[in-house]
Structure 1
Amino acid sequence: MDTAKIEKRIGIRASTDAIWEVIADLPGWDRWNPVETGVEGTIAFGGQITLAETIEGLPQRQGVARVGEWQPYAQLVWMENRGLWFRAMRYFEIEELEPGSCIASNGFIFSGLRGEMFFDRNRKHLRQAVDSVAEAWKAAAEA
């Protein structure tokens, strides 16, 4: 099965602890994240995450996802089945370059026929979303 991926990587001058703290505080996402708000749930394997997703140019939607992978100070991945032919994965990753300096990535991976079609139709909006989340995550972690 084919997949479609869009990602933004950004340098952040902060420790992995500080960057992860921003991600781990799910209710705090309202203070910094321009795309995912009202985030609630549990960061644990199989944990449920609920959120509102607001991507400019697309209708706002409520989402319910399951945590697929997570590693403290390194990664959070959740997955959503949006129908028989549409799966979406959302991820946040932190890679330490040296103490106090990291690369942070966030992105979407879509699979299934409808997932790929959604990606193709909305690539520009998805690009703006991952770029704005990266800049906001950087600002929050460096503050």
Structure 2
Amino acid sequence: METIRIEHRIGVRATAERLWDVLTDFGGWERWNPHEVKVQGALGYGAPISLTERLPDLGERQVQAHLGEWEPNAQLVWVERRGFLFRTLRYYEIEELDRGACIVSHGMVFTGLRAELFHDKHRARIRPAYEAISEKLKQIAEQG
């Protein structure tokens, strides 16, 4: 089975707590994330999460997923089945280097029979979208 990842990392001058507060304010995602909007859900292992994905040139797509792993101030992960033997894992990870200095990584892991095809077809649209998400998340988190 094929596994492929798209990821973006950025340094942010904010505490892990501040970043976690921004990430878990699902109703406020549209302030910093133009590509994953109308987010609804609650923290809880296996809890449902829904959102609208708006990637450039791909239109809008409704996402119905489930939270996987989550750890306060460190990690938020959700998993979506996209058909028979194809799924995506979307994640945000916070690594605190020093108080008020973090690296935020976020991306998507594609797994399944269609993973390589999907990745090859859409990576040129997804990578710039993830860069834009990183920059806006950094801006909002650093504003305090």
- The verdict on a shared fold, with TM-score over 0.5 as the criterion, is yes
**Does residue 90 of structure 1 match 2:90?**
yes
Q: How does 1:43-58 map to 2 (within 5 A)?
A: 43-58=43-58
Question: Could you tell me how far apart the structure 2 residues matched to 1:66 and 1:116 are?
Answer: 23
Determine the structure 2 residue equivalent to 1:32.
Answer: 32
Equivalent position amino acid for 1:122 in 2: H
Residue ranges of structure 1 left out of the alignment (5+ in a row): none
CA distance in 1 between partners of 2:65 and 2:43 (Å): 11
Deviations 1:58-91 (A, max 9, x none): 1210100001100000000000001003101100
SS class of match (2:8): strand
Cα-to-partner distance string for 1:10-63 (whole Å, 9 max, x where unaligned): 000000011111101000101111110000011210011000000012121010
Q: Is the 8 A contact 1:44 1:67 kept in 2?
A: yes
Aligned-pair Cα RMSD in Å:
0.8
Is 1:65 the counterpart of 2:46 in the alignment? no
Return the alpha-carbon distance in structure 2 between the equivalents of residues 130 and 93 of structure 1.
14
The residue that corresponds to 2:128 in the other structure is 128
1:114 aligns with 2:114: yes
Distance in 2 between the 1:94 and 1:10 partners? 10
Distance in 2, matches of 1:108 and 1:130, equals: 10
Question: What residue number does 2:17 align with?
Answer: 17
Is residue 2:140 matched to residue 1:140? yes
Determine the structure 2 residue equivalent to 1:99. Answer: 99
Contact 2:2–2:115, Cα closer than 8 Å, also in 1: no
User: Would the aligned equivalents of 2:86 and 2:114 in 1 still touch at CA under 8 Å?
Assistant: yes
CA distance in 1, matches of 2:112, 2:52: 22
Kept in 1: contact 2:68–2:79 (CA 8 A): yes
Identity %: 48
Give the match's secondary structure for 2:114: helix
Query: Which residue of structure 2 aligns with residue 4 of structure 1?
Result: 4
